[in-house]
Structure 1
Amino acid sequence: MPVTAPTIPGFTYIQHIGQGGFADVFLYEQQWPRQRVAVKVVRPDLPLTEREKQMFTAEADAMARLADHPYIVSVIGAGTTSPQEGSRPYLVMRYCPPPDLGQRVQVKPMAVSEAIATGIKLASAIETAHRSGILHRDIKPSNVLVTTYSEPALTDFGIAGRMHEVEADNDVRISYPWSPPELLDGRSNGSVASDVYSLGATIWNLLVGRSPFSIPSGDNSSRALTARILHSTPPRTQRPDVPASLDLLLQQCLAKDPMHRPASALELARSLQRIESQEGFPRTMIAVETDLPAVQDVAPTAGGDATVLKPVTVISGSSPRVAVEPPPSSSAPPSPSAETEPTTGDRARVIWLSGLAALLLVVGLVLFLTAGGDDPTSSPPPTPTASTPDSIDPGAPADPPVVTGRRTDAGVVFRWQAPDGDQPGDSYEWRRTDTGAGRRTTDLTVTVRAAGRVCVQVRLIRSGFISPWGNQCVD
């Protein structure tokens, strides 16, 4: 069936560039400001149910909230087509030329250093989404585009969900090769842990060129993949240049039990940074929003850097400099022109300054020679190293908070404390691992209602640094 692009005022259609589960993606040129953009439009052959409309609205809202992140595709605008064309919702996004990351690594898997750096960047994007209360729930290589500057950009938040709402979803769309066991068997509709699993599977793919549980030339149907994901041991990459520490980390990401995976995308990013340091790779920065001082706490900038209008001084190639200000007094001696001959006093000053410069040059040369500058046996300056220090965040709390929990008539009460004692300004972030619900607080306790086993993670935030997660479960 031929694909027809809708007419959108202010945009000129160029070509069809892709198709997803329920939308087509077209390349348009925006007329003002002039730029190429990708426009995602709900397919006309699909019934436009309220569910589809809600999903499209949720995607637009999620991507707009995260639009300023360097590794998330920016949303420029949204709208609906004309009634004659079905009133189809559409998103206008930053254009990233094909192929996507999945198509690229099918041809040639990434170098280890590049795969680690890409993993850190994607983990930064996912951690940012989680801090905004958004679960992606469809992380996979084909949902990672590549910008014109060769940077990864996460897209397709079409089935993203709010952390406190996902358990109420009646249906969850999944991509089998990249989905964790708890989504496949219905134990969960998505969580921080499930996004970490899918990110680990994506990084594994960058190194190998296929999904972790697929078999070359084997049965890779949805049924076969589901069976292996549910019951097979997470595989190693089998690449001889992949460090054992990276293989182990990816196996932890693919663990059957969500509690055995890295507790957050940020924790995964920091683990990847440590591997970079151990292997001597260039360091990749984590792009996650940090706590900034409130506006009223910032001292006002002095007026010295204000932009002002400066009088123009015109210097002609054949005429003297034009003074900006007139001489203070008419009795002042006139300034010599460019053609005026130097006086005897001027010549004496020039000779005196030349002699002083020569003397300083001789003294400097003597000092250099006595310091060993010409000595071939002197020690050369140290060569910069490509490795980074082992401590990624030297000011960060090294240990997680101590967390305890007990069941009471009011619910399960969790308490926590900094391992070195609470300090002024400390705050904490807690969250449930089953629902993702949580918040930042200065309290040292929280009561949650749960009939069965419930687990809570807590981390300390001190002076802008964040500790590892502390965990506690109560049956």
Structure 2
Amino acid sequence: MLERHGTPPVIAGFTYLSDLGAGGYSTVYLFEQQMPRREVAVKVMNADVEDRTASRFESEANLMARVSSHPAILSIYGAGVSTDGHPFLVMEYCPPPQLGAILRQGALNVGEALSIAIQIAGAVETAHRAGIVHRDIKPANILFTTYRRPVLSDFGISAMSGPEGSEELRGMSVPWAPPEQLVGMRSANPASDVYSLGATTFAMLTGRSPFEVDGAPDVYELSRRIVKDPLPPLGRQDAPPSLHRVLSVAMDKNPESRYPTALAFARALQQVQAELDLPITTVDLFHEAEATTARPQRPEEEDEATHMGVFSRVEITSDGMAMRVDDSPGPQLPRPIGYDEESEEEAAPARESRWRLVVAIVAGLVLVALVIGAIVVAQQRESAGGNSTFQTIAPPKVSPVEAAVEPPTNLRGEVEEDGSVVFTWDAPSPEWKGSYLYREVVPGEKTDVEPTKTTTASIPARSGRTCLEVSAVRDDGKSSPSVTACIDTP
């Protein structure tokens, strides 16, 4: 990991709060936006605007702006250049821990793993429909909003999908990379994202990447297993065989044998939810405005776009009488040829009465047909054992707000004689049964997140000021917003 370059940038309308982390070409800070007042994450490029990699940063901003309105994609609020010439992105702030840190504690329950995977699949499908391949889907890039909703982040190495060989697959992490990347395939393909999402789902169910083994990681041996070995079993009795089969398809060695879309993968996971009698998670997808807004009719379409019930100009009835109808749109009754047009006003009441009778008869027939159809469908579902349909997807039974986890309370620190600082805190509630994640907060450094079952943590004292950040993690894997406390240290 590269250290960040320089001090936090000066951005008009924003106040620096703390460092959040640093990567290969950027640093992420926590800022407070003044108007509207809110905490935001600001990603600042280490190089200045004249650097060649600035175009990559601009590309990330444009890619995220195309899809960031999706509820499972990290929102981008704006972009610009700081006073010292560094490009930056202003993004939604998601408090730690991210999914990768949570999984270091252990696997999630099957229900939550399926729900997260389906929500992220909707984000991936939306990106693909916009022509964007993420290329780095992994637990560390799945964050959680303050409402504990998962969002996909870090489109820094994303690319527009194009012809075979037009884009290089670079930068992805080996444990989550598909076999074709490891053997040198150079195209940005949605099938690669399907594989990585499948690998991330496997990790949520096992607490580790699919081909990870105990001991020190060997990138070459890991790559060999990804390319050659079959998918290992999940190793948990609460996961049905169908779930392993779904993951095996998503992570097939041959990209053409995987689910053709992220949406198809999501539908397969929904089938597993139905099999386990779990709430069916919604797949959020972008809908074109044309799908819900009527457009003006073109002249060449007028003849084809007639309304049901409009008769042709001349019809021969069963008794051989020639009948004529108006060219005006809408349901009409036929009239005999030779009909006196001037008597139209006198005949109007009778025609209206006949038309009402026709409408009443048609409405009655439609109602009967609907009732019979509903009975038949109900009988078919009952005889089929209650198989679910996903034409209408029900939302989860528990809303994100109801599922929120309260943070620890009364976080405080005390300097010990040996030079360490012992931080203690209180549980979110008297009946609390979960655990905690904590990390030291050091400006300019990305520190490790540590799990603990206790309500205390000891860290070495730093010169001037020592800070700790703590969040609570429930047994089902849901975590709280973090709380931070600092103590002056010599």
TM range (shorter): 0.5 to 0.7
Partner of 1:24: 27
Deviates more, 1:114-123 or 1:183-192: 183-192
Q: Percent identity?
A: 40
**CA gap 1:171/1:68 in 2 versus in 1, 3 angstroms:** closer
Q: CA deviation at 1:25?
A: 0.7
**CA gap 1:272/1:133 in 2 versus in 1, 3 angstroms:** same
**CA gap 1:293/1:233 in 2 versus in 1, 3 angstroms:** closer
Partner of 1:403: none
Where 1:289 maps in the other structure, the secondary structure is coil
Where 1:295 maps in the other structure, the secondary structure is coil
Partner of 2:57: 56
Name the CA distance, whole Å, in 2 between partners of 1:258 and 1:114: 27
Where 2:30 maps in the other structure, the secondary structure is strand
Partner of 2:8: 5
Q: Do 1:101 and 1:142's aligned partners in 2 also have CA atoms closer than 8 Å? A: yes
2:267 to 248, 270, 292: 270
Name the CA distance, whole Å, in 2 between partners of 1:16 and 1:33: 21
Q: Do 1:76 and 1:94's aligned partners in 2 also have CA atoms closer than 8 Å? A: yes
Residue 37 of structure 1 aligns with an amino acid whose one-letter code is V
Residue 229 of structure 2 aligns with an amino acid whose one-letter code is S
Q: CA deviation at 1:202?
A: 0.6
**CA gap 1:261/1:169 in 2 versus in 1, 3 angstroms:** closer
Matched ranges for 1:174-185 at <5 A: 174-185=172-183
Partner of 2:113: 115
Name the CA distance, whole Å, in 2 between partners of 1:130 and 1:182: 19
**CA gap 1:98/1:165 in 2 versus in 1, 3 angstroms:** farther
Where 2:165 maps in the other structure, the secondary structure is helix
TM-score, normalised by the number of residues in structure 1: 0.60
Name the CA distance, whole Å, in 2 between partners of 1:122 and 1:48: 35
Q: Do 1:183 and 1:190's aligned partners in 2 also have CA atoms closer than 8 Å? A: no
Where 2:180 maps in the other structure, the secondary structure is helix
Name the CA distance, whole Å, in 2 between partners of 1:115 and 1:149: 17
Partner of 2:45: 42
Partner of 2:437: none
Deviates more, 1:149-158 or 1:12-21: 12-21
Q: Unaligned regions of 5+ residues in structure 1, if any?
A: 299-386, 396-475
**CA gap 1:109/1:238 in 2 versus in 1, 3 angstroms:** same
CA distances 1:370-426 after superposition (whole Å, capped 9, x unpaired): xxxxxxxxxxxxxxxxx985221289xxxxxxxxxxxxxxxxxxxxxxxxxxxxxxx
Name the CA distance, whole Å, in 2 between partners of 1:119 and 1:390: 19
Q: Do 1:135 and 1:191's aligned partners in 2 also have CA atoms closer than 8 Å? A: yes
Matched ranges for 1:403-442 at <5 A: none
Name the CA distance, whole Å, in 1 between partners of 2:264 and 2:168: 31
Q: Unaligned regions of 5+ residues in structure 2, if any?
A: 297-384, 394-490
Where 1:37 maps in the other structure, the secondary structure is strand
1:259 corresponds to 2:256: yes
Where 2:193 maps in the other structure, the secondary structure is helix
Partner of 2:71: 70
Partner of 2:347: none
Number of residue-to-residue matches in the alignment: 302
**CA gap 1:48/1:220 in 2 versus in 1, 3 angstroms:** farther
Where 1:183 maps in the other structure, the secondary structure is helix
Q: Do 2:143 and 2:153's aligned partners in 1 also have CA atoms closer than 8 Å? A: yes
Partner of 2:221: 224
Q: CA deviation at 1:166?
A: 7.5
Name the CA distance, whole Å, in 1 between partners of 2:10 and 2:61: 20
1:234 corresponds to 2:237: no
Q: Do 2:76 and 2:89's aligned partners in 1 also have CA atoms closer than 8 Å? A: yes
Matched ranges for 1:357-368 at <5 A: none
Q: CA deviation at 1:165?
A: 6.4
**CA gap 1:93/1:246 in 2 versus in 1, 3 angstroms:** same
Name the CA distance, whole Å, in 1 between partners of 2:31 and 2:184: 40
1:101 to 99, 102, 112: 99
**CA gap 1:170/1:276 in 2 versus in 1, 3 angstroms:** closer
1:201 corresponds to 2:204: no
Name the CA distance, whole Å, in 2 between partners of 1:48 and 1:214: 41
Where 1:73 maps in the other structure, the secondary structure is coil
Q: CA deviation at 1:176?
A: 0.8
Name the CA distance, whole Å, in 2 between partners of 1:201 and 1:142: 13
Matched ranges for 1:111-190 at <5 A: 111-164=109-162, 167-169=165-167, 172-190=170-188
Name the CA distance, whole Å, in 2 between partners of 1:223 and 1:235: 18
Q: CA deviation at 1:103?
A: 0.6
Q: Do 2:95 and 2:145's aligned partners in 1 also have CA atoms closer than 8 Å? A: yes
**CA gap 1:47/1:223 in 2 versus in 1, 3 angstroms:** farther
Residue 270 of structure 1 aligns with an amino acid whose one-letter code is R
**CA gap 1:139/1:170 in 2 versus in 1, 3 angstroms:** closer
Deviates more, 1:285-294 or 1:69-78: 285-294
Residue 75 of structure 2 aligns with an amino acid whose one-letter code is S
Matched ranges for 1:278-357 at <5 A: 278-291=275-288, 293=291, 295-297=293-295
Name the CA distance, whole Å, in 1 between partners of 2:20 and 2:105: 19
Residue 6 of structure 1 aligns with an amino acid whose one-letter code is P
Q: CA deviation at 1:48?
A: 6.9
Residue 268 of structure 2 aligns with an amino acid whose one-letter code is S
Q: Do 1:282 and 1:388's aligned partners in 2 also have CA atoms closer than 8 Å? A: no
Q: Do 1:277 and 1:388's aligned partners in 2 also have CA atoms closer than 8 Å? A: no
Q: CA deviation at 1:62?
A: 1.0
RMSD: 2.5
Residue 66 of structure 1 aligns with an amino acid whose one-letter code is V
Partner of 2:243: 246
